């Protein structure tokens, strides 16, 4: 008898099917999945999870599959921060967690840099930007503390298999235009619920040409589109990056959508995309940079998991090389991880940024999450972060604009929100 023919399936379906121990799953089905990795940080993790675990009297199901990153409240700025970080450190010591990254940088960057995220894995994170892991062909999404408690005790979580929306970008991005601009364009065109509970798969020639850092930005900000997960099919770029960061070798061949896989398909031409800026107070309040009225700034913030990885720092340094930032403007630079910061020092990138007038901040979430180094009253900021809701970066009276690292650097140079292409030409 001939073997049964499988219907074409998406990358998301294949990843969920593996985790569920099934040959195939169908969008809309509810399945139980085995978790390969659970990540949480000092804000979302021990201070919430430790009391619940103690009340249950339950052990962690597999400590080798748990990663704790202390990144939100460090360096500790006040007594409350010291309390939260102390709880995290004591929990890690008491539980003898083998994978703890204390003050090493932002979780969404540090975790893959230590080889924890690989194609084919099913992962959860205690942070809304956990879909960053999808850039590596892993299924990763954010969950709350109660769901994380269930994962820590059982190693499993239920999931409704999502539909997939394919976001295909043909052509190539122009110099001075980046993945951040791609995401802001999508948000401005479709809004923040465009992919609600769907899997957003980024594909096409322009996506294939992106380095891993840029793919991470796409996957990360799929959360702003409302997607559960953001995915990029792994390829040689993925394999080379993972090998360079000490991850074990993996076969990427199975982890791609079939040609006729079901889903909504949207097509865009990356070659005509201009730099995009999100105006206060929503990532979806977007205009092309050239359509803005002259907008002076007080602060340019180069930080966060979407704007301060090594490639982002290099982009900003290209714009600023040989120049000084405008009088009256502060350029704040918080590299996404110590590893990226050290690499940028070796490359001379940090020196160029300092020579331009940048002030160096710790490698932590910092002002992106309104913690240490938060933005003060009434300031106007151009930021490489993912969100600009009122009060997100500190004061509710601050006006936060979002742009790419190129745009942040060009704006610091000119003293107003500016197009980096004019500087790079």
215 with 123, same domain? no
Q: So what's the pLDDT on residue 5?
A: 65
Residue bearing tokens 């996957």:
219
102 with 141, same domain? yes
Q: How far apart are CA 200 and CA 202, in angstroms?
A: 6
Mean pLDDT (10-residue bins), the chain, 425 residues: 71 98 97 98 96 95 98 94 97 98 98 96 97 98 97 98 98 98 98 93 98 98 97 97 88 94 97 98 96 96 96 98 97 97 97 98 90 83 95 91 98 98 93
Residue 170 lies in a domain: yes
| Beta pairing partners, 300 | 331, 382
- Residue at which a domain ends, from 159, 187, 205: 159
240 with 108, same domain? no
Side-chain half-sphere CA neighbours of 341 within 13 A: 20
Domain that holds residue 182: 164-251+261-272
Residue 256 lies in a domain: no
Residue 29 lies in a domain: yes
Q: So what's the pLDDT on residue 335?
A: 97
Kindly give, in sequence order, each residue whose CB lies less than 8 Å from that of residue 3, ignoring residues fewer than 6 positions away.
Answer: none
- Residue at which a domain ends, from 124, 140, 159: 159
Kindly give, in sequence order, each residue whose CB lies less than 8 Å from that of residue 277, ignoring residues fewer than 6 positions away.
Answer: 184, 286, 287, 288, 289, 292, 382, 401, 402, 403, 407, 417
| Beta pairing partners, 141 | 124
Residue 16 lies in a domain: yes
Q: So what's the pLDDT on residue 4?
A: 53
| Distance (Å) of CA 335 to CA 153, 228, 359, 362 | 34, 27, 11, 7
DSSP for 305-358 reads TTT-SHHHHHHHHHHHTT--PPTT-EEEEE-SBHHHHHHHHHHTHHHHHHHTTE
CATH number at residue 222: 3.40.1060.10
Q: How far apart are CA 121 and CA 138, in angstroms?
A: 5
341 with 356, same domain? yes
Residue 46 lies in a domain: yes
Q: How far apart are CA 181 and CA 2, in angstroms?
A: 49
Q: How far apart are CA 109 and CA 189, in angstroms?
A: 28
Residue 4 lies in a domain: no
Tokens of 79: 């007594």
Q: What is the DSSP letter of 213?
A: H
417 with 400, same domain? yes
Side-chain half-sphere CA neighbours of 322 within 13 A: 4
335 with 352, same domain? yes
- Residue at which a domain ends, from 159, 178, 196: 159
| Beta pairing partners, 383 | 301, 402
295 with 379, same domain? yes
Residue bearing tokens 């300092």:
354
314 with 355, same domain? yes
115 with 55, same domain? yes
Number of domains in the chain: 3
Using DSSP, state whether 70 is helix, strand or coil. Answer: strand
115 with 234, same domain? no
CATH number at residue 336: 3.30.499.10
Residue 173 lies in a domain: yes
191 with 94, same domain? no
Q: How far apart are CA 251 and CA 398, in angstroms?
A: 47
Residue 130 lies in a domain: yes
Q: So what's the pLDDT on residue 372?
A: 66
378 with 417, same domain? yes
Q: How far apart are CA 401 and CA 412, in angstroms?
A: 13
């Amino acid at each position: 008898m001939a073997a049964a023919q499988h219907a074409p399936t998406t990358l998301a379906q294949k990843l969920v099917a593996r985790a569920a121990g099934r040959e195939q799953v169908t969008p809309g089905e509810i399945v139980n999945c085995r978790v390969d990795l659970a990540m949480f940080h000092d804000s979302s993790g021990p201070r919430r999870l430790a009391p619940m675990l103690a009340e249950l009297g339950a052990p962690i199901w597999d400590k080798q599959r748990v990663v704790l990153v202390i990144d939100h409240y460090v360096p500790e700025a006040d007594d409350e921060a010291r309390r939260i970080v102390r709880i995290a450190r004591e929990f890690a010591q008491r539980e003898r967690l083998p994978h703890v990254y204390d003050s090493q940088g932002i979780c969404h960057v540090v975790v893959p840099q230590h080889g924890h995220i690989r194609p084919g894995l099913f992962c959860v994170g205690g942070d809304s930007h956990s879909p960053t892991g999808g850039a590596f062909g892993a299924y990763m999404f954010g969950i709350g503390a109660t769901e994380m408690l269930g994962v820590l005790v059982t190693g499993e979580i239920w999931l409704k298999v999502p539909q997939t929306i394919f976001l295909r970008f043909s052509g190539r991005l122009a110099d001075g235009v980046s993945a951040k601009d791609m995401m802001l364009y999508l948000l401005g065109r479709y809004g923040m619920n465009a992919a609600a509970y769907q899997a957003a798969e980024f594909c096409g020639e322009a996506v294939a040409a992106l380095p891993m850092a840029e793919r991470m930005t796409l996957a990360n900000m799929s959360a702003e589109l409302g997607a559960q997960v953001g995915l990029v099919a792994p390829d040689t770029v993925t394999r080379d990056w993972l090998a360079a960061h000490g991850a074990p070798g993996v076969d990427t061949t199975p982890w791609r959508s079939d040609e006729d896989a079901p889903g909504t398909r949207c097509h865009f031409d990356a070659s005509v995309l201009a730099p995009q800026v999100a105006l206060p107070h929503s990532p979806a309040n977007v205009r092309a940079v050239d359509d803005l009225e002259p907008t002076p700034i007080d602060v340019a913030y180069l930080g966060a998991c979407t704007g301060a990885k090594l490639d982002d720092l290099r982009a900003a340094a290209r714009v600023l090389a040989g120049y000084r930032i405008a009088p009256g403007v502060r350029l704040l630079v918080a590299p996404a991880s110590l590893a990226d910061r050290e690499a940028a020092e070796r490359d001379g990138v940090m020196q160029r940024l300092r020579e331009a007038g940048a002030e160096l901040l710790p490698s932590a979430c910092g002002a992106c999450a309104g913690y240490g180094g938060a933005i003060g009253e009434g300031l106007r900021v151009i930021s490489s972060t993912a969100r600009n809701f009122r009060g997100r970066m500190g004061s509710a009276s601050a006006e936060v604009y979002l742009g790419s690292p190129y745009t942040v650097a060009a704006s610091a140079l000119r003293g107003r929100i500016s197009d980096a292409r004019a500087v790079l030409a």
